[in-house]
Structure 1
Amino acid sequence: MEPTYVGGLVELADAYDAFVIDQWGVIHDGTRLYPGAIRVFRLLREIGKPVVILTNSRKRTDINITRLSCLGLTRDLYDGLISSAELLRNLLVARSASPWKALGDRVFVVGLPDDLALLDGTRYRPVPNVESCDFVLLLSTANGATAGAHDGWLRKAAARCLPLVTSSAELLTVNEVGVFTGLAGLVRRYRRYGGTVITVGKPHSEVYRECDMLLAGLDNTRILAIGDQFESDVVGAKQHGYHAAMVLTGAASVTFQGVADRRSIAAAIAGLGEPGVSCDFVLPSLQWSPAPGSR
């Protein structure tokens, strides 16, 4: 089913009781807020609509809140922010159920240098290679790095039957430099090698249950999730009972590059679907009103 094209969120505001909005690629590009984004938050606040920001960021919640404040989106304009990295850390620390309680303490971290801060204050000890670890923690890769560049440790870890844990398995990642290949390729390759993957973050249910706690008492069918990637934002939302909208900024600007007219974009989004999962709406960006002359 093709999504309905809407020029601005004003056309949907009355139909929903709350909004769950992705961060990177929807609210900002890492260096600045997208035009119109802050107006959306202010007007949703004025009409009493709760807003939760749901992000597959590799950073903890407080770091994401600080980043948004520095960009101009202050904490008073939304009801909460859920970071998949924060949820992952909480699950690692609690170790209250499978598969978390079965993990050892030695971890091989695949990420950038500042990613190690996620483990500060925990029992987990980073080690330099997969030969000496109990599990792999996949958080990020260098911009543009392909799955093939990581094939060595992927094969070794799979041969040792090590769990691979990640807070994001998106096809594309948006950062302050641009749009790059996400971690999905590494995750798929690891599974192809016979490895076990433990994923936290969209599209998986744990992060949406966190949203439910912030939006307690609301009917899921009256909640609209907005994102820029079908496989994570739309699939996750629809599987949880939310309605879903895609914006054409961020990762979507690459996915649909060269697709010019609205009908073609709607058809392309419909073509991404899988049985029982479809996107409800498509917007040009996170904006309140249609651009002048767009109708």
Structure 2
Amino acid sequence: MTTPLSAFAEIADRYDGFIFDVWGTLYDGGNAFPEALETVRALAGMEKKLLVLSNSPRIPAIVGERLTGIGFDLAWFSEIVTSGGMVADIVGGRRDAEAAALGERVLWLGRGRFPDTVPDGSFTVVESVEEADWILNAGPDGPESRLEDYESQLSGSVARNLPMICANPDKSVIHGGARHICAGAMAERYEVMGGAVRYFGKPYPEIFARCLDRIGLPAERVLVVGDNLETDILGANRTGIDSLLLGCGIHAAALAETADAGEGLDALTTSHGARPTYFSDVLAW
């Protein structure tokens, strides 16, 4: 059963480490949530171990620059872990058998927006499906891009049995009140069409295992904080980590549709097959 919270301070002493999502949790895509900034500062002052976990297709250094720019002190965090950083490490470095088996030529979707998902020189970037050995799906080319814009490339890639690496399992984000597609939506469509996808990021256990290793704590002493049932909460459930779902993010509209907040949350968690330990409207101390 999910426990409602009125203030984060109620549970701060129960855990030694906290893993924070970024978009929808620490900031709205443009600015930091003031309450979240206060909460993270307070936890750092308690000498808690804090880690940022993002499904961004960018490497950690870029996400760190963004956090610094909106008021967070990187000294508060033990580390920043991103799905893009894992792709850069594992795929870019060909560190496992699946990565080593990828061909040399890659069709890189979203390269203009996300230019660092694999290191320069790791692969030869090509411009057409016909030239490619595999697809790196970092996301759409622009915030206004639609799934339909990629139908031809995806169908052609399926026809050639090209494997896809997805560097961001998120299907969408809310920015300025508008919903924009992410790489996860493109990957989901590719799978529906018959394509094979390897995902890096939440909710897959590999990235949560990396976080626990980097934060240096057992799962039972850590809390995951995020706004997305499909990624943050499901990933925490799969890894045996307690979690806090925030209602101000990706599910805000769905939660607002039900007059009874408890019933709305229960229906939403059931439909997504993920259940948080706690629920709060915002990340407020």
**TM bracket, shorter-chain basis:** over 0.9
Separation in structure 2 between the aligned mates of residue 268 and residue 37 of structure 1, nearest angstrom: 26
Shift of 1:268: 3.0
CA distance in 2, matches of 1:255, 1:109: 33
* Aligned-partner Cα distance in 2 for 1:272–1:104: 38
Residue 284 of structure 2 aligns to which amino acid in structure 1?
Q
1:160-202 per-residue CA deviation (whole Å, 9 max, x = no partner) reads 1100111112232244674323333322221122211011000
Query: 1:179, 1:250 within 8 Å by CA — same for their partners in 2?
Result: no
Q: Which residue of 2 aligns with 1:214?
A: 214
1:175-233 CA deviation, whole Å, 9 max, x = no partner?
467432333332222112221101100011221122112222x2202211011110101
Which residue identity lines up with residue 263 of structure 1 in the other structure? Answer: G
Q: 1:161 matched to which residue of 2? A: 161
Letter in structure 1 aligned against 2:181: T
Aligned to 1:119: 118
Give TM-score scaled by structure 2 length: 0.93
Aligned twin of 1:60: 59
Moved more, 49-58 or 259-268: 259-268
2:151 corresponds in structure 1 to 151
Question: Does structure 1 retain, via aligned residues, the 8 Å contact 2:26–2:32?
Answer: yes
Name the amino acid aligned to 1:282. F
Q: Which residue of 2 aligns with 1:205?
A: 205
Higher relative contact order (CA 8 A, sep 6+): 1
In 2, the alpha carbon distance for the partners of 1:265 and 1:164 equals 36
Number of residue pairs matched by the alignment: 284
| CA 273–114 in structure 1, closer or farther in 2 if over 3 Å, else same | closer
Partners of 1:28 and 1:178 lie apart in 2 by 15
Please give the alpha-carbon distance, in whole angstroms, between the structure 2 residues aligned to 1:220 and 1:11: 20
Amino acid across the alignment from 2:214 = L
Q: Rate the CA distance shift 1:121–1:143 in 2: closer, same or farther, 3 A.
A: closer
Q: Equivalent residue for 2:190?
A: 190
Report whether the alignment pairs 1:45 with 2:35: no
- Which residues of 2 match residues 126-141 of structure 1 at below 5 A? 126-141=125-140
> Once superposed, what is the RMSD of the aligned Cα atoms?
1.9
- 2:226 corresponds to: 227
Give ranges in structure 1 of 5+ residues lacking alignment.
289-295
8 A Cα contact 2:212 2:218, kept in partner = no
Which of 274, 278, 282 aligns to 1:281? It is: 278
1:29 maps to which residue? Answer: 28
Judge conservation of contact 1:109–1:116 (CA < 8 Å) in 2.
Answer: no
Structure 2 unmatched ranges of 5 or more: none
Match of 2:107, SS state, is strand
What is the rounded CA distance, in whole Å, between the counterparts of 1:164 and 1:255 in structure 2? Answer: 31
Inter-CA distance 114–192: structure 2 relative to 1 (3 Å threshold)? closer
Query: Does the CA-based 8 Å contact 2:91-2:118 persist in structure 1?
Result: no
Quote the sequence identity (%).
24
SS of the counterpart of 2:27? coil
1:162 maps to amino acid: L
Which amino acid in 2 is paired with 1:20? I
- Distance apart, 1:252 and its partner CA: 2.2
SS of 1:145's equivalent? coil
1:281 CA displacement: 1.0
**Change beyond 3 A, Cα 1:144–1:253:** farther
Paired AA for residue 207 in structure 1: I
